[in-house]
Amino acid sequence: MASPVVLAVCLGNICRSPTAEAALREAAGELGVDLDIRSAGTGDWHVGLPPDARMQEAASALGLTLAGRADQVDAVTLKTADLVLAMDRSNLADLEGLAQKNGVRANIRLFREFDVEADGDLDVPDPYYGGGEGCTDVVIMVRRTSRRIVELIASGEL
């Protein structure tokens, strides 16, 4: 049986979603859960580029390594994913629109639905236009939430 595919999606796939991909992999490894974890962006601006240098630096400072190259989500990617995690409401709307336009049934959820500290705010803030502190905040938030997501997958609740 193939490993469940978990797809993290943000706007350009250079900040939030590659961080989520790395954090989900870390949590899956720590918890011994076999998952196929990927990330993509709704836009094509950064396709082929590595994660943002500020994001890589913030993640590295906290012991998390970002890797890979930006990719853009498409209908085939949505169809093959068991769980699609949108980083914010705008990404969620784009993903739902892509799925509807292409007749794809996909399990698309907001990433922070599973953050015990979300406090009603379900968007992972986009640190792209900010400084390093925003990147660090995203790494902490995404790591915490990733662990919870993997726990829920492992328990069969998700």
User: How confident is the chain (158 residues) per 10-residue block, as mean pLDDT?
Assistant: 94 97 98 98 96 97 97 97 98 98 97 95 92 91 98 96
Of 52, 88, 94, 126, which one is the catalytic site residue?
126
Q: Taking phi first (over 0 means left), then psi (-120 to 50 degrees means alpha), and beta for anything else, what does residue 62 get? A: alpha
Q: Is 148 a catalytic residue?
A: no
Q: What's the total number of domains in the chain?
A: 1
Domain containing residue 57: CATH number: 3.40.50.2300
DSSP assignment, residue 73? -
Residue 20 lies in domain: 5-155
User: What does the block give as tokens for 117?
Assistant: 């500290």
Instruction: Note the pTM of the prediction, 2 decimals.
Output: 0.96
Can you tell me the distance from the alpha carbon of 131 to that of 135, in angstroms, rounded to the nearest whole number? 7
3-state class (DSSP) for residue 48: coil
Q: Is 135 a catalytic residue?
A: no
What Å distances lie between residue 96 and 6, 62, 78, CA to CA?
A: 16, 33, 10
The per-residue pLDDT for 43 is 97
The per-residue pLDDT for 75 is 97
Q: Is 16 a catalytic residue?
A: yes
The per-residue pLDDT for 25 is 98
Of 16, 38, 112, 143, which one is the catalytic site residue?
16
